[in-house]
Amino acid sequence: MTRFAISTLLLIAVCANVFSAPPEKKAKKGQSIAVIAYYFGPAEQVDSFAVEKLTHIIFSFCHLKGNQLVVDNARDSLIIQKLVSLKARNPQLKVLLSLGGWGGCETCSRVFSDENGRNEFSQSVKNLLDYFNADGIDLDWEYPAISGYPGHQFTPADKPNFTQLVQQLRKAIGKKHEISFAAGGFTSFLEQSIEWKKVMKVCNRVNLMTYDLINGFSQVTGHHTPLYSTPQQKESTDNVIHYLDSIGVPKNKLVIGAAFYARIFENVDSVNNGLYQAGKFKRGVPFKAFTQLLSADSGFVYHWDPVANAPWMYNAAQKLFVTYDDTRSMQLKTAYAKDKKLNGIMFWQLGEDAYSGGLLDAIYEEKMKVSGQ
């Protein structure tokens, strides 16, 4: 073949590649967002849930003993082993161990205040991950540098110490394991607890607790897990995302939070059907018990806030106000995570869901919708 012929063939090939239409892309179902469940319940219960619809499940909780992360007892060890065994049903599932929880991090400020404590903790995490064949660690310290559980120590030094903690953890457990942390969804945490740019360079994601924004200490009712802010309530999921985006935190590392439970307030006046009125926290109710405990037959009337994109109920006879997530708000939150190209959505907690037709199903159905349809 002549040099001219070879050149001609090459030119034809290049032109065909440049000018031909790209292969048609099919609409993809289920944009790749994480669906993350915290789990706080017995080992035998988890089989009843559709774990195939999860990407991550987080055992709640491990705690500190001295400077080391420990599993509290044999029962908890069995639960972790059960969670890891779920990979037989969902090979893509990742199982993480969580430190702390509300009231579960009493000595965190002290232990993580020096290099030896952080090093010993990090090595103990690696040992547990290797022993259970788990996939990572979730830090649920409530809260570094600001007041959290009553009586727990906190100091401004917690903020840089948390950075050094995640850096040491990464060195100890390597790149194949995940590091995440639970973050308060309220302004004081966002502004005071975390060195965001430094920490997010190391962590795979942050699980934003965009629930309990109206909580057990609140004396005025409101939405405890709203998607958007309202004139009466600044704290919301969207408020958190806007703040973190504004300071340069990558949106693809942000996970928004949802609540599989309601908060009930008592002695609430009927003005505005109880919303934004004085009240006292009474109790929580898991989603699986809504139909039994919060039924219309019992006097609970459903309301929807189109600004917050959040539901609430009010019982005029009993003067009870109820704030919660439902299937509608869950679908809207999932769509928000997809539209904003966030890392995903998480929730507390799987054991409070209904076995079928529950909130996980609502998340999954929205996740699997074809974009633009």
Which residues contact residue 150 at a Cβ distance below 8 angstroms, ignoring those fewer than 6 apart? Answer: none
Tokens of 36: 């993350």
pLDDT of residue 371: 55
pLDDT of residue 196: 98
For the cut 60, the answer to whether the pLDDT of residue 11 exceeds it is no
Residue range 48-65: mean pLDDT, rounded: 98
Q: What residue spans of the chain are helical by DSSP H?
A: 3-19, 74-85, 108-111, 115-132, 158-173, 187-192, 196-202, 237-246, 290-293, 327-339, 359-367
pLDDT (tens digit, 9 = 90+) per residue, 154-193? 999 999 999 999 999 999 999 999 999 999 999 999 999 9
pLDDT (tens digit, 9 = 90+) per residue, 105-164? 999 999 999 999 999 999 999 999 999 999 999 999 999 999 999 999 999 999 999 999
What is the residue-wise DSSP string for 336-351?
Answer: HHHHTT-SEEEEE-GG
pLDDT of residue 227: 98
C-alpha 281/C-alpha 330 separation (Å) is 23
SS (H, E, C) 13-27: HHHHHHHCCCCCCCC
* CA atoms within 13 Å, Cβ hemisphere of 119: 3
pLDDT of residue 22: 35
pLDDT-based confidence at 20, cuts 50/70/90? very low
SS (H, E, C) 131-190: HHCCCEEEEECCCCCCCCCCCCCCCCCHHHHHHHHHHHHHHHHCCCCEEEEEEECCHHHH
Return the C-alpha torsion angle 271, 273, 276, 280, nearest 10: 100
According to CATH, the topology of domain 30-259+325-367 is TIM Barrel (3.20.20)
Which residues contact residue 159 at a Cβ distance below 8 angstroms, ignoring those fewer than 6 apart? Answer: 144, 145, 192, 193, 194, 195
pLDDT of residue 32: 86
pTM of the model: 0.91
Parallel/antiparallel/unpaired status of strands 344-348 and 254-259: parallel
Domain spans of the chain?
30-259+325-367
CA 143 to chain centroid, in Å, comes to: 16
Q: What percent of the chain has pLDDT over 70?
A: 91
In angstroms and rounded to an integer, the radius of gyration of the C-alpha atoms of the chain is 23
pLDDT of residue 49: 97
Sign of CA dihedral 33, 228, 190, 241: positive
pLDDT-based confidence at 31, cuts 50/70/90? low
pLDDT (tens digit, 9 = 90+) per residue, 317-355? 999 999 999 999 999 999 999 999 999 999 999 999 999
Q: Are 255 and 344 in contact (CB under 8 A)?
A: yes
Amino acid at 118: R
pLDDT of residue 8: 39
Helix crossing, 359-367 with 327-339: angle to 10°?
30
